[in-house]
Structure 1
Amino acid sequence: MKKDLLLILPIFLFYGCGEKTYSSKEIEDYKLTVSCEGYTQPSDLSDIEDETLRKAALEVCERQKFLSTDNIKPSKKQGF
């Protein structure tokens, strides 16, 4: 009985301490709230603890930085 419990316990601990997952809708909603004020490099986003949210914020800020420095305007087309 103890042996079975010792085998099952780590499984519960592993899944209980896992990283939070976000739906694509949650990520898209989060991207709308990201503020890139003062952003110059990826380390500026180090205060965001969740790796998934940090990647989403990095994507938004890098896109804004790219569009502003290269004077590239987003396409008005909505499809191909």
Structure 2
Amino acid sequence: MKKATSGVLYAPQSTGVHIPERVNALNEQVNNLQSRYYRSLAPDCELHGSSDRWYFGAILSACTGFIFPPLFVVNVSSK
């Protein structure tokens, strides 16, 4: 039977890590694409009317209630 090795990879410690320029350029391109994408989504995420605010509040209340169920009991009993 072969000996099993642990799945941990060991990288020797060095004083400085060298990252090729290609990786830096790729990271910059990805960051630029992400920022342009999120800027293009921003107008769609705004609350324009009272119905938008109502739906946002209802979804937020439901999510909060699933995380903290006693809030439903306190909110219902206070009315």
Q: TM-score range by the shorter chain?
A: 0.3 to 0.5
TM-score, reference length from structure 2 = 0.33
Indicate the structure whose relative CO is greater, using CA pairs within 8 Å and at least 6 residues apart. 1
TM-score, reference length from structure 1 = 0.33
More helix by share: 2
Higher-Rg member (1/2): 2
